[in-house]
Homo-oligomer: A and B are copies of this chain.
Amino acid sequence: MKFPAPVTIQWIGQLVNASTIVGDENAQATGINELHKVESGDLVFVDAPKYYDTCLNSAATHIIINTSEVQVPQGKTLIVTENPFEAYLKIVDHFRPFAPADKMINEKAIIGEGTIVMPGVFVGTDVKIGKNCRIFPNVTILDYTEIGDNVVIQSGTVIGGDAFYYNTKKDREVWYRRMQSCGNVVIEDDVEIGCNCTIDRGVTASTVIGKGTKIDNLVHIGHDNTIGKNCLFAAQVGIAGATTIEDGVCLWGQVGVSKTLTIGANTQVLAQSGVPSSLKGDKVYFGYPAEDAQVKRRELVWQKRIPELWEDVKQIKKILDQKA
């Protein structure tokens, strides 16, 4: 998330009740982001010592951290506070406060010419919908979603749900605390989405569905995924978080894709397969873990030959026993 305008580190320090600022108090912060999305000028937060170095040496210019006993790279600033996670929540809450909706269509939503929004549709604050879209009954489009032209969203689908993304501490009574989402969903032109799908918004950045991609029913697309153009996802596909699916990828029914990986362009993954790690493009994959479909099919044939092999070995042992 970028802030509406840059703010000083001093201002941030006061907001989060920082104990110390290390570096230039007058430096400016342009936004706050997660480690893998962070850009120069942005804030990032870290509380686990094992990630200190990665964060200090990331693209982030300003680090919210629970120690001052670290080597600070030149030109960077530390905002030291006992609980960086709480500081993150405070900043998000300031710039994107939770807005309890009280009507189905928010008056700040922008809806383009020729777009039809049918009954029972919820449209949240700061939503933008382009031209000639069809939003079917009982769809939910949550805050900050951006939708292009000629987009179809069928009934029961929810766009912009909060990310399933938690801060975990097993010594608390409640182990998991949600890392509040301040990102959004961006749906490009000519995308069509089926019924009862769920597309979550990015934690701090955007979940993107590329131009011309078509999605069947009951598909789950987690936070911060980047889906390419002209992809085809069959029913009940699920994609975890922060994964990249390149252009022209087909995922058949009930395929599951794990987080933070890449599926190369024009790949096909056959039904019910599971993808635990990145796949190169222009190939057909199958099984769990998903492998080259031809290799996998041969493996299935080999598996059926075990009893024959067993019989052979039994015979061989008999022959050797007789000879002994």
Contacts and interface: CB of A to CB of B under 8 A. Distances in A.
Contacts of A306: 299, 302-303, 305-306, 309
Given A156-B156, A176-B230, A316-B320, A101 B118 contact: yes
Contact of A320 (B175, B271, B302, B319): B319
A235 B230 contact: no
A294 to B, nearest CB: 14
Contact of A136 (B118, B140, B310): B140
Interface in A144-169: 152, 154-158, 161-162, 164, 166
Number of copies: 3
Contacts of A137: 101, 104, 122, 124, 140, 142
A49 interface: no
A256 B256 contact: no
B116 A100 contact: yes
Interface in A234-262: 234-236, 238, 240, 248, 253-254, 256, 258
- Chain A at the B interface: mostly helix, strand, loop or mixed? loop
A235 B255 CA distance: 12
A179 to B, nearest CB: 12
A216 B178 CA distance: 12
A271 B222 CA distance: 15
Contact of A104 (B119, B196, B211, B299): B119
A195 interface: yes
Contact of A102 (B119, B157, B248, B274): B119
Contact of A212 (B174, B253, B256, B316): B174
A302 B309 CA distance: 11
B238 A218 contact: yes
Interface in A108-133: 116, 118-120, 122, 124
A217 interface: yes
A278 interface: no
A212 B167 CA distance: 13
B217 A161 contact: yes
Contacts of A173: 211-212
A303 B156 CA distance: 43
Contacts of A212: 173-176
A89 to B, nearest CB: 14
Q: Which of A100, A140, A200, A307 has the most CB of B within 10 A?
A: A140
A207 B309 CA distance: 47
A216 B220 CA distance: 10
A304 interface: yes
A103 interface: yes
A317 interface: yes
Smallest CB-CB A-B distances: 6 pairs:
A122-B137, A174-B212, A198-B217, A140-B155, A158-B195, A161-B195
Given A102-B119, A178-B214, 7 more contacts: A196-B196, A218-B218, A271-B274, A302-B306, A309-B309, A313-B313, A313-B316
